[in-house]
């Protein structure tokens, strides 16, 4: 695990006026939606809003874990010609501005294999990527990929496992053995996005993980309100906000405002993100 990621995870647990719950905050953007320059600007804006860790999606034509919001974002990015090489160029540009905020890539396995796995690992690390989330690569089956990454880079690139409520006990137990970074816990079974309610069984499931795992648990899929974050604050170490954020940016882009006005309106979205760990928030942003 990179020093950047280790430091960010520890810092996110400190209670501050901006983060009174001591909850970590990770946000997701689809790379290249609507274009590379806008993605870079929004990554920087999210950091200024207080986000601890950034997650950047790699668009893929056949996603299995993404809901309609992120599927649409991926399609828009592909239509702009976004690919893995351009994403690594984008992360390199980001690192010229920011050397401290961890950046994770969320990708399906196919683009990495097509690119060349060894080539991808070495170039991703050189570009400043701190970790990978691979939703279509089960943890048990990922051993050869993780071992090859260790041979090339030692522990410098984190592999972030995902746990669902359908995960087998032996799978969860296996993750307890020396896992670094954090665990991505799905708030419910299914695809990204969805209802805002955190079902009682989800809270019970996350509570049960704390008796098995020493690695921090971050909950994603459908996170979009301060009420959710407050509900989860006693059960996990952080949250991941994806579809709700992608949707707000998509709605703003659909307004087709002049560039300077669109940039100005982005500030409302950053304010919303920063407020998720607080007690009140302006939930809706409408085109005016």
Q: Give the CATH number of the domain where residue 111 resides.
A: 3.20.20.70
Is 200:231 a contact under the CB 8 Å cutoff? no
Q: Is residue 48 part of a domain?
A: yes
The predicted model gives 31-35 an average pLDDT of 97
Q: Is residue 106 part of a domain?
A: yes
Is 33:245 a contact under the CB 8 Å cutoff? no
Q: Is residue 282 part of a domain?
A: no
**Total tally of structural domains belonging to the chain:** 1
Upstream peptide bond of 128 is cis (omega within 30 degrees of 0)? no
For the record, the structure tokens of 86 come out as 């351009």
Q: Is residue 171 part of a domain?
A: yes
Nearest-angstrom CA–CA distance, 137 and 134? 6
Is 220:188 a contact under the CB 8 Å cutoff? no
pLDDT at 195: 58
Q: Is residue 98 part of a domain?
A: yes
pLDDT at 36: 97
Nearest-angstrom CA–CA distance, 126 and 213? 31
Q: Is residue 283 part of a domain?
A: no
Q: Is residue 288 part of a domain?
A: no
Catalytic residues, which ones? 55, 66
Could you read off the pLDDT of 145-169 as tens digits, one per residue? 999 999 999 989 999 999 988 888 8
Which residues are CB-neighbours of 174 under 8 A, at least 6 positions away?
A: 139, 140
Could you read off the pLDDT of 215-228 as tens digits, one per residue? 899 999 889 999 88
- Domain span at residue 263? 3-14+28-276
Q: Is residue 251 part of a domain?
A: yes
Range with lowest mean pLDDT among 41-50, 119-128, 194-203, 245-254? 194-203
Could you read off the pLDDT of 192-239 as tens digits, one per residue? 555 556 778 888 888 888 788 888 999 998 899 998 899 899 889 999
């Amino acid at each position: 695990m990179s020093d950047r990621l280790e430091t960010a995870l520890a810092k996110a647990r400190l209670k501050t006026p901006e983060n009174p719950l001591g909850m970590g905050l990770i946000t997701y953007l689809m790379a290249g939606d609507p274009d590379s320059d806008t993605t870079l600007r929004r990554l920087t804006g999210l950091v200024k809003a207080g986000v601890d860790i950034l997650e950047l999606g790699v668009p893929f034509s056949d996603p299995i874990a993404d809901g309609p919001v992120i599927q649409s974002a991926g399609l828009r990015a592909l239509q702009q010609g976004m690919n893995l090489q351009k994403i690594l160029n984008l992360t390199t540009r980001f690192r010229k501005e920011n050397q401290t905020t961890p950046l994770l890539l969320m990708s399906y396995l196919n683009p990495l294999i097509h690119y060349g796995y060894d080539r991808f690992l070495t170039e991703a690390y050189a570009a400043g990527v701190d970790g990978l989330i691979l939703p279509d690569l089960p943890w048990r089956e990922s051993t050869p990929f993780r071992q090859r990454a260790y041979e090339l880079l030692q522990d410098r690139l984190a592999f972030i496992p995902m746990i669902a409520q359908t995960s087998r006990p032996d799978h969860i137990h296996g993750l307890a053995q020396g896992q670094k970074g954090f665990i991505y816990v799905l708030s419910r079974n299914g695809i990204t996005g969805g209802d805002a309610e955190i079902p009682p069984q989800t809270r019970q499931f996350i509570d049960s993980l704390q008796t098995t795992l020493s690695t921090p648990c971050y909950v994603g899929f459908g996170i979009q309100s301060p009420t959710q974050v407050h509900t989860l604050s006693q059960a996990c170490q952080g949250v991941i906000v994806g579809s709700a954020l992608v949707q707000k940016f998509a709605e703003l882009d659909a307004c087709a405002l002049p560039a300077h006005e669109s940039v100005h309106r982005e500030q409302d979205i950053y304010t919303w993100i920063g407020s998720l760990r607080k007690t009140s928030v302006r939930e809706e942003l409408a085109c005016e």
